[in-house]
Structure 1
Amino acid sequence: MNKNSIYFVIPAYNEEKIIGSVLKKLNKNGYFKIIVINDNSSDNTHKISKKYAYVINHKKNRGQGAALRHGINYCLKQSKCKYIVTFDADGQHRIEDLNNMLKPVIDKKCEITLGSRFLCKKSNMPFIKWFLLKLSLVFTLLISHINLTDTHNGYRVMNRYAAKCIEIKENCMAHASEIIDEIGIKKIKYKEIPVIINYNPYVIKKHNFYALIKRSIFVAFKMIIRKFRLLFNNN
């Protein structure tokens, strides 16, 4: 496996406390094609990231969806890029799970793999997070008609075909549901892979109770609007 054909896309916003250790670990494991999209951070995210990765800076805070879109489009312009990994900047995702995520795509058994924390028994997930994610499974099944165990996991591996097919239009957090919807609409071959999510103190502190509920309601509303637009356009 040529690691130089594997490109990481990592959106980042004010992650100076942890992004250095995340990127350093990727480098240590032989991964150097790392694209950090610095979403107008007000801290030292850019300064730290540029030691280990290529950094794209947004002049305005545009949201995680916009950052992913920008990063994926950049990767598709690189002729050596065969596989794209979307990876979180806050230390949630483990490099130890990457080989299992990559293998089905490299072996052409699917076009995209989706990490699932619910297929792995090891978890220290906060209850409110567990509850909201379980609710989102039902919502996604109703809206996108795709039966997944984890619909809001940012750990993904895709080949160039899948990356070209998936159109991310949502700039903010609704992009996660949008990607699932795109997989269903475009009939992209997918496979869920068990992954361990590291709910470290930094992650838990960053995602508070009220923010999670507010975000979940917002995402649900956006996806309902998207579905109605698609139905209207098809008619």
Structure 2
Amino acid sequence: MYSKTVVIIPAFNEENAVGKVVSAIPKEWVDKIIVVNNASTDNTRKRAEAEGAIVIDQPIKGYGNACLKGINYIKENDLHPEIVVFIDADFSDYPEEMPLLIKPITEEGYDMVIGSRALGNRQRGSMTIPQVFGNWLATNLIKLFYKVNFTDLGPFRSIRYNKLLAINMQDKTYGWTVEMQVKAAKHQLKCTEVPVNYKTRIGTSKVSGTVKGTIMAGYKILYTIFRYL
């Protein structure tokens, strides 16, 4: 039914949500679930382990740092998956929709699949106005400069493992998602989007929930788009 798939979940102080995310992932579609405990000071590790996830620590804060730690774990343990899926730990995505992101790779030959919140149904208040505008601006700039159509920089995404290694991800903080999409365009990966639904996250966002986080994320996204031109 599925090819070998590993899920990476970066998690910073998500004790109230991460267990729900791990529990809701359709286990028949994945082989391993890796939660990267990113300098959490709460019970994130305990809640993730209780649901059967592999939990590894990344003491250096940063979304990209956590994702890179997960990739390094795959390398160091010779897991050799065909597909890597990324999903946030805040339970804003619907983990049960994961097959929608896997099938285009296994059945249609795509290299990367973005779960688009813009194409799906968003619960009222699940994304802030700056988030919606930032996604619109970033995806239109990618279309203008890289000639690839995306509608979202959504964190729920899948990619062939060999292609993930080939694009050599580097960003350690807010620019992770846009870097992946820009590099996918530069490497001419076969990409598509699927509609995914989105709900209000559990807890407060560490990025969009603060003025500083919103400004820094916006700057990093724009910087990344122009950096790789």
Residue 96 (structure 2) pairs with residue 118 (structure 1) = no
2:91 aligns to what?
Answer: 91
1:176 maps to 177
Contact 1:37 1:71 in 2 (8 A): yes
2:81 is matched with which residue? 81
| Aligned residue number for residue 221 of structure 1 | 219
Q: CA deviation at 1:30?
A: 6.3
- Aligned-pair distance for 1:67? 0.8
Q: Is residue 9–residue 36 contact of structure 1 (8 Å, CA) maintained in 2?
A: yes
Which of the pair has more CA radius of gyration?
1
Q: CA deviation at 1:25?
A: 2.5
Match of 1:189 in 2: 190
- C-alpha distance in 2 between matches for 1:124 and 1:156: 19
The Cα shift of 1:79 comes to 3.9
Task: Decide whether aligned partners of structure 1 residues 194 and 61 sit closer, same or farther in structure 2, where only a CA change above 3 A counts.
Answer: same
SS in 2 for 1:217: helix
Instruction: Answer whether contact 2:174 2:220 (CA < 8 A) is retained.
Output: no
Change (3 A) 1:209 1:47: closer
What is the CA distance between 1:230 and its match in structure 2? 4.2
Give the TM-score normalised by structure 2: 0.84
* Separation (CA, whole Å) in 2 of partners of 1:210 and 1:53: 27
Aligned to 1:47: 46
2:149 is aligned to: 147
Post-superposition offset of 1:225: 4.0
The corresponding residue for 2:35 is: 36
**Cα deviation digits, residues 89-121 of structure 1 (max 9, x gap):** 11112133112211110024310100001112x
2:213 maps to a residue whose letter is: R
Amino acid at match of 1:67: A
* Cα 1:130/1:48, change in 2 over 3 Å: same
Give the conservation status (yes or no) of the 8 Å contact 1:113–1:190: yes
Sequence identity of aligned pairs in percent? Answer: 27
Q: Which amino acid aligns with 1:101?
A: L
Instruction: State how far apart, in whole Å, the 2-side matches of 1:39 and 1:142 are.
Output: 31
Question: TM-score scaled to structure 1, two decimals?
Answer: 0.82
**Tell me, which stretches of 5 or more residues in structure 1 are unaligned?**
none
In 2: Cα distance, 1:109 partner to 1:138 partner: 29
Q: Measure the CA separation in 2 of the matches of 1:209 and 1:112.
A: 25
Structure with more helix by fraction: 1
Distance verdict in 2 for CA 1:27–1:112, change over 3 Å: closer
Query: How many equivalent pairs are there?
Result: 224
Task: Name the Cα RMSD after superposition.
Answer: 2.6
